[in-house]
Amino acid sequence: MKVLLTGAMGNIGYSTLKGLLAEGHDVVAFDLESKRARKLASGLDERVRVVWGDITDRDGLRQALDGVDAVIHLAAIIPPLADRAPELAQRVNVDATLGLIAEMEASPTAKRLIFASSMGIFGDVQDREPPLRVDTPVSPTDEYGRQKIKCEEAIRASGLQWSILRLAAVTPIQLQVQDPSILFEFSPDARMEFLHPDDAGTAFARAVACAESIGKVLYLGGGANCQTTYLEFATALMKTIGIGPVPIDAFPRTTPPRFYGDWLDTEESQRLLGFQSRGIDEQIADMKKHFGLIAPLVRLVRPLATWFVVRKSPFLAENRR
């Protein structure tokens, strides 16, 4: 099949692109042009046609859909940028998705849509018993979660052969390094389930030809081996680059705990897509590869590096009173 992949050069997008090639598909890789994106695109083989464009441009999107059989829609503005640029997030996350649905309904070939939704639709308060199931009521607490719900509703109402895949945490750790304050947004005892980007990519790629997934909402998480607490996960990743231990007082004290999403019921998605194969060891190995020689240098100044990160916490002084 020929698959249009939006957001193809992003964190999950590039993993999905690799997954699509592994499954034997041809790919139209659609994304904004950038230095990083051009570098990634330079190593792709002839089965990939790269189209540089803006997801909000209906004309460009229509051209990218030419001859396509299926679409995996990953392009989105995610938090924290979604909170900082709400008008942009509305245009990209909602308006462009509605435009894509309309263009696919008008297309003679592109009738299969796999949409990336998020655990953000369940809000940032864990006042429920885990795991999250398909029938768990949604309760968004930010605009990003509300935007994903709007998209899900529009997709369900469309005439397309759709699948909605709701993702667990797949946040690139480099975002936390670039802005350490992000590290301290959630409760240390909050339940979280993470998902390796390559496992996410495998799931999206396999959903394309999975007839049984049509008309279903599926949860993508790493499984029981990837269910942990936020503090345990953050500590393990920070330790990898030479930071820590981070004091628990640096995190917010909330009852119930705060974190977007929860542990997930992934039994059906794993049965259908067979994507869960990586855990914390693979995540750490990827981090070591990404940071290269930076991590050993950080370890040489661990106390100073830890102080630099911890000082970004808005809760430390308050919790130690």
Task: Determine, yes or no, domain membership for 311.
Answer: no
Confidence of residue 172 (pLDDT cuts 50, 70, 90): low
Task: Determine, yes or no, domain membership for 231.
Answer: no
Task: Determine, yes or no, domain membership for 272.
Answer: no
Find the domain containing 136 and state its range.
2-181+193-224
pLDDT tens per residue, range 209-258 = 999 999 999 999 999 999 999 999 989 888 888 888 889 999 999 999 99
pLDDT tens per residue, range 121-159 = 999 999 999 999 999 999 999 999 999 999 999 999 999
For residue 181, give every residue at least 6 positions away whose Cβ sits within 8 Å of its Cβ, in sequence order, or none. Answer: 312, 313, 314
Task: Determine, yes or no, domain membership for 86.
Answer: yes
Task: Give the pLDDT confidence score for residue 178 in this predicted structure.
Answer: 58
**CATH number (domain holding residue 86):** 3.40.50.720
Q: Which residue has the higher pLDDT, 28 or 300?
A: 28
Task: Determine, yes or no, domain membership for 32.
Answer: yes
Which contacts (CB < 8 Å, 24+ apart) does range 246-251 have?
246/183, 246/306, 246/309, 246/310, 247/310, 247/316, 248/188, 249/315, 249/316, 249/319, 249/320, 250/184, 250/310, 250/313, 250/315, 250/316, 250/319, 251/184, 251/186, 251/187, 251/188, 251/313, 251/315
Task: Give the pLDDT confidence score for residue 181 in this predicted structure.
Answer: 77
Number of domains in the chain: 1
Task: Determine, yes or no, domain membership for 293.
Answer: no
Task: Determine, yes or no, domain membership for 260.
Answer: no
The token duo for 125 is 């308060």
Task: Determine, yes or no, domain membership for 258.
Answer: no
Q: What is the mean pLDDT of the chain?
A: 93
Task: Give the pLDDT confidence score for residue 278 in this predicted structure.
Answer: 94
The token duo for 144 is 């990003």
Confidence of residue 321 (pLDDT cuts 50, 70, 90): low
Share of the chain above pLDDT 70, in %: 97
